[in-house]
Structure 1
Amino acid sequence: MVQNVDVAQFPPVQDRVSFHRTELSVILALYGRMVAAGLWRDYGISMLRDVAVFSVFRHTAEHPVYRIEKRPKLAAKQQLYCVIGMDGRILKRGQDLNTVLRVLERKLIRAV
């Protein structure tokens, strides 16, 4: 069944925030290690007007375990990247993506 979608509800591509190829390669490298360790199983990417979100899931039908967000408008005040836990707490903020993702690397070291 095909549904009619109102295209006006989605911002134009040039107005959306997205992850750059180098950012995605860093995130997907971490994702691959976590999948190999059996901790993560699925992911989703959202590109909105003011934020790009990489969500990580343990199971497909769950809420995301972690969200990696990129908010360019907050780069000067609250940093560009942040990792948010399932409960909504901000685990780490920073300007460097590798530094921010280290909070998740520690969880991999504990699990293995």
Structure 2
Amino acid sequence: MNSRETIAKRSRNTSRIWDSKRALNEMIYLDEFTGMEVSIVDSPNRSEIGRTGLVSFETKNTLEIDTGRKRIMIPKHLRKFRINGQFVDGDLINMRPEDRLREYRRILRDLRR
């Protein structure tokens, strides 16, 4: 096997791994977030950035986060979250959890832009 064949084989394996990681990242948009670890990465309200906790309740427009000391309601709109180690755009999940399954194709299209 020459070096070109080795490089081609590595690139195929790498792309396969990359596609599986991308698919796992996309699957987080199908989940209901209740009980998951969440932290706020970006927000127009600077006091919200860095808040972490468990999602105790999810509505169409908000996440209720239990920080250990108190529960806070955080809007999904214009926020970026880190949920179970994966970054999630709040504008793409700004719908009821049961509607995300129906809107999954639209979410994927918006993710790939």
Same fold (TM over 0.5): no
- Say which structure, 1 or 2, has more relative contact order (CA 8 Å, 6+ apart): 2
TM-score, length-normalised on structure 2? 0.24
Query: Which of 1 and 2 has greater Rg?
Result: 2
TM-score, length-normalised on structure 1? 0.24
